Structure 1
Amino acid sequence: MEFNQFVDEVKGGIKLFLPREYEEAQVRIEEMRKLNENYLGISILKEDQVLAPTFNLNQMYEMYQSDPQITMESILRNITDMVLDAPEQFDLKSITEYENAKDKLFIRVSSAEKNAEMLQNVPHQITEDLAITYHLAISIDDVGMSSTTITNDILKRYGISEEQLHADAMENSPHIRPIHVMIMGNIIEQLMGMDPETIMRDEPAQNIAEIISKGMENEAPMFIITNSQTVGGAGVIFYPEVMDQIGEGFQGDFFILPSSTHETLVIPDNGVFDYRVLEDMVQTINENEVAPEEQLSDHVYHYDVKDRVFERADKFVERQKEKAAQIGKTEHTGKEQNIEHPKPKKHAMEL
């Protein structure tokens, strides 16, 4: 069965499996543009509903094609279960009026290059090759979180600036998706694919420096920085003061490895690793271990504690070279300066 025929059958058959209250419901099929992926989605809205969750038809079609035991009936029953399990209709004012919505704001981080088309329609900030975008948490439960992306149209409706949106999202993100720091085993073992040894979990954000400091007692430690759901957690590295607290724990600079959109890894810049070796490892893992839609970047980043600068590791190295060259030039220029002593004045009369 071709994909278009699959979509038509799902759209035409879904109401046969839904309760009677959905007889007059509207079945929508629309293209969805999300971070790192685009897909065709289906949503079912009852007459009294304004918003409803959207389900990924491309994903369902792949399951239908790959597993002979999955029938069209099982697909339709699965969609029905998801529709009925979705949260009840919420107060629309909670997301359309900014004073109510801002407490639900949080950030995500993704590849700026892979999401270039989507970024044209959403407010964002670019940091190196990463894009920070803004989202609203619609509901949070034991299963997960439903959310929506802040678009340019929504921002216009709110009547605020991008700077205000960014500031509020940064302030609120740690409450919506709290940071979690986990200590892993030896770096080499982990990067070679061996099982990590998780030593600490569920540590509150204010203890980041203490967690890092304790973890430094291990040989060549690596730390996972993510959120409490361990989903879409790469953005927590940009939460206020997080990098400074990590640096305090390391007592110096550190490297940031983009493990995936779900987490980043941090290790001290203590002279043990060359960033190029780490970058090769990240690229290899992206190619072999990380799904394309979850890849964040092939680059390794660096945080300069003294200058408080987050940048690509190669740019940090170049910046240090420029600094050293400037210092050398200044010292050389100082040595080359000739000190001229004042000549003795001639007296008007000679004896």
Structure 2
Amino acid sequence: MDFNQFVDEVKGGIKQFLPIEYEDAQVRIEEIKKLNENYLGITVLKENQVIAPTFNLNQLYEMYQSNPEVSMESIMKNITGVMLDSPKQFDLKNITEYENAKDKLFIRVSSAERNQEILQKVPHQIKEDLAITYHLAISVDDIGRGSTTITNDMLTHYGISEKQLHADAMKNSPKIMPLYVDAMKNIIAQIIVGEDKPVMQDKDLKDMKEVISEGLKEGEPMFVITNQQTMDGASAIFYPEVMKQLGECFQGDFFILPSSIHETIVLPDKGDFDYLSLKSMVQEININQVLKEEQLTSDVYHYDAKQRVFERADKFEKRQKVIQMNKNEKVGREQKMEHPKPKKHDMEL
């Protein structure tokens, strides 16, 4: 069965798995453009229903093709189960009224270059070549997360500024998607023993110093920054005070590698690593190990702990060269300004 046949079968058969009240429901198949990915989605709307979950048909087809245990019937039952359960979890006021919505705000980070079209329609902040966008968590559980993206129209409806939106999202993100930090070797060990996703323990910002201190003592230079759900966890590096705390843990500057949209890797800048070699490593990993829709960027970033500046590593290096050049010029000027002392001459009387 090819993808088009799969789509037709889901569209034509989904109502057979739904209660009688869905008999006259509208089944929509449309292209969905989201951050980092486009896909064909299916939505089933009853009469007078304003909002309903949209299912990624490309993802469902991939599951159907790759796993012999996944049948068309199981896919249909999965879709209808979520559809019938979502009204119980969802209250429209959680989206339309800002006082209810603001406590459900969280941030995501993505490539600004690859998401230019989407970014024109949504409030966002640019951090170098990364874009921070704002989202509402409709539901968060062990299986996944239902969410919606804040658009410019929604911001206008709320009657608030982007500054207020950003402040509320930054405040609530660590509560909705709590920070998780672990040594890289622990993550790798969990993958080797067969865990598809590392099990995130209940660690938050207050545990960061302990995790990094233990890792450094054991000779581990790399640490993973994500959230406990390990989903869109690259944004956790931008949580309030996280970079400042990391600078304190490393007792100085550090590099930030964009592993994927789900996590970043940090390592101290002690002169052991050249940013070009780190960038080459990120590029290679993106090509060979990270799905295109999950790639963040191929750049390497740097945090100046003294100046509290987040920037691309190449910009940091250029800035340091300028600073050093200015110092050299200053020293040179000071040396020129020192007039030689007059020599003493012997005088005979």
Which TM-score bucket, shorter chain as reference? 0.7 to 0.9
Separation in 2, partners of 1:256, 1:155: 31
CA contact 1:186–1:220 (8 Å) conserved in 2: no
Deviates more, 1:104-113 or 1:81-90: 81-90
- Give CA-to-partner distance per residue, 1:225-260, whole Å, 9 cap, x none: 100101110001001110010110111111111111
The equivalent residue for 2:40 is: 40
Unpaired runs of at least 5, structure 1: 342-351
Contact 1:138 1:146 in 2 (8 A): yes
- Between the aligned partners of 2:66 and 2:179, the Cα distance in structure 1 is 37
Matches within 5 A, 1:312-323: 312-323=312-323
- The SS at the match of 2:255 is strand
State the alpha-carbon separation in 2 of the partners of residues 55 and 112 from structure 1: 25
User: Under a length normalisation based on structure 2, what TM-score does the superposition of the two structures give?
Assistant: 0.88
Contact 1:136 1:148 in 2 (8 A): yes
In the TM superposition, what is the alpha-carbon distance from 1:39 to its structure 2 partner?
Answer: 1.1
Write the deviation string for residues 270-300 of structure 1: whole angstroms up to 9, x where unpaired.
1111111111111111111111111111111
- Output the CA distance in 2 between the equivalents of 1:200 and 1:49: 37
Residue 16 of structure 1, CA deviation: 1.6
Residue of structure 1 in register with 2:208 after alignment: 208
Does the alignment pair 1:130 with 2:130?
yes
RMSD: 2.8
Equivalent position SS for 1:156? helix
2:267 corresponding residue in structure 1: 267
Alignment of 1:53-132 (within 5 A): 53-64=53-64, 72-73=72-73, 75-86=75-86, 88=88, 90-132=90-132
Mapped to 2, the partners of 1:301 and 1:252 lie a distance apart of: 15
Evaluate the alpha carbon distance shift between residue 240 and residue 70 of structure 1 in structure 2; reply closer, same or farther with a 3 A threshold.
Answer: closer
Distance 1:336 1:195 in 2: 66
1:55 and 1:29 map into 2 onto residues whose CA distance is 10
> Corresponding residue for 2:258?
258
What are the ranges of 5 or more consecutive residues in structure 2 without an aligned counterpart? Answer: 342-349
Gap change, CA 1:200 and 1:222, over 3 Å in 2: farther
- Report percent identity of matched pairs: 65
Paired residue secondary structure (2:133)? strand
Partner of 2:332: 332
Q: Which moved more, 1:199-208 or 1:127-136?
A: 199-208
TM-score where L is the length of structure 1: 0.87
After superposition, give the CA deviation of every residue in 1:96-126 in whole Å (9 maximum; x if it has no partner): 1111111110000011111111111111111
Tell me how far 1:178 sits from its aligned partner: 0.7
**Residue identity opposite 2:118 in structure 1:** M
Cα 1:264–1:54 shift into 2, 3 Å: same
Return the offset for 1:65: 5.5
List per-residue Cα deviations over 1:186-213 (Å, max 9, x = no partner).
99xx6xx9789x9994322123233322
Q: SS of the residue aligned with 1:213? A: helix
Correspondences of 1:1-351 after superposition (within 5 Å):
3-47=3-47, 49-64=49-64, 72-73=72-73, 75-86=75-86, 88=88, 90-185=90-185, 201-337=201-337, 339=339
After superposition, the C-alpha distances for 1:58-90 in whole angstroms (9 at most, x for unaligned) are 223445566788665554344333423445262
**CA 1:136–1:218 in structure 2 vs 1: closer, same or farther (change >3 Å)?**
same
Residues in 2 aligned to 1:271 and 1:162: alpha-carbon distance in whole angstroms: 39
Aligned residue identity for 1:55:
F
Q: Secondary structure at the match of 1:278?
A: helix
Give the number of aligned pairs.
338
Matched letter for residue 90 of structure 2: F
How far the C-alpha of 1:10 sits from its partner, in A, is: 2.5
**Are the aligned partners of 1:106 and 1:176 in contact in 2 as well (CA < 8 Å)?**
yes
